[in-house]
Structure 1
Amino acid sequence: MPSTDGTNGVSGQQHILPTLSSNLVGKTAIVTGSSRGIGAGIALELGRRGANVVVNYSSEKSQGPASQVVKAIEATKLGPRAVAVQASVAVAADQQKLVEAALKLSPSQQIDMLVHNAGHGDDRYLVDLDEAFYNEQMDINLKAPVFLTQAALPHIPRGGRIVIISSVSARMGVPQQSIYAASKAGTEALARVWASELGQSRGITVNCVNPGPVATDMYYASSQEFIDELQPMINTTPAEARIGEVADIVPLVSFLCSEESRWVTGSVVSASGGLLLF
């Protein structure tokens, strides 16, 4: 009978893992959209655990915050390296910039973790949609993860981790989110398909993390009408009647980037305080 106590049923040996505080030492990650908000929190936590991190930003106004994230990572006690790279994640040449920057950081010339966090989330009713609005969101939210993963894949080793930051919007039917919700539902599909394609053949796990509303710049840039519409839902969040915080999301992502998550793939992990329960 197979062992169920975490031991190897043949040899009786347990998996010996490094402590969570240092289990990413020597590994290298790309975190897209990581100059602020959830992305910055993820980049900082991976760095705190020892990973070298490519911090990605897209606009000049984000250069300063991205540089601060780099400084904070390099100041952590395990001494990881980090670099800020300006790149549009939906542009092929810029995707290659991110890959090349990661390879320069990596002592093994590998990309161990790829976290697709960059996103675009403007809200608009169906009657007001146009192709430019559609293309902008789909390019960043869905096209970018596909082709950045394709560019990075030759450099992701067995045991590599791909994590996509999706959204509970993929399943909740929130008004004004036709395109955003559809793009995020698409990322869930990517995780399931890639888990099959990249699992046994390449030893790579692929998962989604789905936050609910989180107190970030992106959330507060939404229209007041949209924020007001969400407030009753926030007030009934099962875990606690509050909006989510970056610190609620980051530990789930760092877990999915770790060796401890080796038996988790093709999953959609809800980081919503239970909003999808009802």
Structure 2
Amino acid sequence: MSPIEPQKALVGKTAIVTGSSRGIGAGIAIELGRRGANVVINYTSPRGATAAQQVVKTLESGGSKVASVQANVAVVSDLQKLVDAALSISENKKIDILIHNAGSGDDCYLADMTEDFYKKQSDINLKAPIFLTHLCLPHLAQGGRIILLTSVSARLGVPQQTVYAATKAALESCCKVWATELGRKHGVTVNCVAPGPVATDMWWDSDPALLADFQPIIDSTPAAARVGEVADIVPVVLFLCSEESRWVTGSVLSASGGMTFIG
């Protein structure tokens, strides 16, 4: 049997990618489209709207159906917009791929922690994936894919990341639970991709003290002494969207260059 060409492998499938106007999310969305998928692009701010439009143009130029949706993933009522948009462009009225990429990486020392900071970050990083997955459940295609973008921070113990690291570790736990709950019932695989630092706006906007804390870890990264690039992460995510990943579920794939804590 001849292999399916990569650019045709996802034809007819529909994907939601949260936080997909820039950075890793945009890279994932564009590659999904290159492989034939129809894609829901998600953004929140006016700045995101401009960036999202460029992603839409790229996808449409390749022949994909695209829906661009302004939705604050921290607000449960907004999440329904993403589901409705996906169903509107889906050829079989199913959602085949759900990628939880949106996240808040704001930094805060424990001594400075506030309830507002905790709620804002945990709502985006943890509540949103839980409730968006819940809303998608009735529409998930048999053999669907759910991918959560987590972080090596879940295991590194870097200062200022109390909430960020905890929410990413919690997502990895959700992944294992959902793989069990959804595997036989829906034929769905659920996996995480855990990048290290990636050269996106969120990384460069981090507190300078956090960047300094990370630098020794970056310098000792086995694959190369650098932060990652979007192009390092996207192929790992796309593998988990593919038929070739059918026997991988409940897993956390590190896309960090082998980064480990050295403190």
State if a TM-score over 0.5 links the two structures: yes
Select which of 196, 213, 225 maps to 2:180. Answer: 196
Select which of 89, 94, 107 maps to 2:73. Answer: 89
Identity %: 62
**Counterpart for residue 210 of structure 2:** 226
**Counterpart for residue 135 of structure 1:** 119
- SS of equivalent to 2:40: strand
Select which of 40, 64, 69 maps to 2:26. Answer: 40
Select which of 238, 257, 271 maps to 2:222. Answer: 238
Cα offset for 1:60?
1.5
- SS of equivalent to 1:237: coil
What is the identity, as a one-letter code, of the residue corresponding to 1:74?
E
Cα offset for 1:90?
1.9
Select which of 17, 23, 47 maps to 1:31. Answer: 17
Aligned mates of 1:124, 1:277 — CA distance in 2: 19
**Counterpart for residue 68 of structure 1:** 54
Structure number with larger C-alpha Rg: 1
Deviations 1:165-221 (A, max 9, x none): 000000111111000000000000010000000001110000000000000000011
Aligned mates of 1:235, 1:84 — CA distance in 2: 38
Select which of 15, 39, 42 maps to 1:53. Answer: 39
**Counterpart for residue 130 of structure 2:** 146
Aligned mates of 1:17, 1:167 — CA distance in 2: 32
What is the identity, as a one-letter code, of the residue corresponding to 2:115?
E
Aligned mates of 2:183, 2:213 — CA distance in 1: 40
Aligned mates of 2:47, 2:197 — CA distance in 1: 24
Aligned mates of 2:118, 2:261 — CA distance in 1: 29
Structure 1 unaligned residues grouped into runs of 5+:
1-13
Aligned mates of 1:239, 1:213 — CA distance in 2: 13
* Mapped contact 2:239–2:245 kept (Cα < 8 A): yes
**Counterpart for residue 216 of structure 1:** 200
Change (3 A) 1:95 1:64: same
Cα offset for 1:94?
0.9
* Mapped contact 2:217–2:260 kept (Cα < 8 A): no
- SS of equivalent to 2:221: coil
**Counterpart for residue 115 of structure 1:** 99
**Counterpart for residue 158 of structure 2:** 174
Aligned mates of 2:129, 2:76 — CA distance in 1: 11
Aligned mates of 1:27, 1:17 — CA distance in 2: 18
Cα offset for 1:21?
2.3
Deviations 1:64-111 (A, max 9, x none): 1001001101112xx111121000112122111000000001111110
Deviations 1:114-172 (A, max 9, x none): 00000001111111101000001100000000000000111111110000000000011
Cα offset for 1:225?
1.4
What is the identity, as a one-letter code, of the residue corresponding to 2:49?
Q
Cα offset for 1:242?
0.8
Structure 1 window deviating more from structure 2 (47-56 vs 229-238): it is 229-238
Structure 2 unaligned residues grouped into runs of 5+:
none
Give the alignment's TM-score, normalised by structure 1.
0.92
Aligned mates of 1:33, 1:206 — CA distance in 2: 19
Aligned mates of 2:260, 2:177 — CA distance in 1: 22
- SS of equivalent to 2:12: coil
- SS of equivalent to 2:211: helix
Cα offset for 1:17?
4.9
Structure 1 window deviating more from structure 2 (268-277 vs 29-38): it is 268-277
- SS of equivalent to 2:15: strand
What is the identity, as a one-letter code, of the residue corresponding to 1:263?
W
Aligned mates of 2:147, 2:261 — CA distance in 1: 23
Deviations 1:13-63 (A, max 9, x none): x7x652222110110000000000000000000000000000000111210
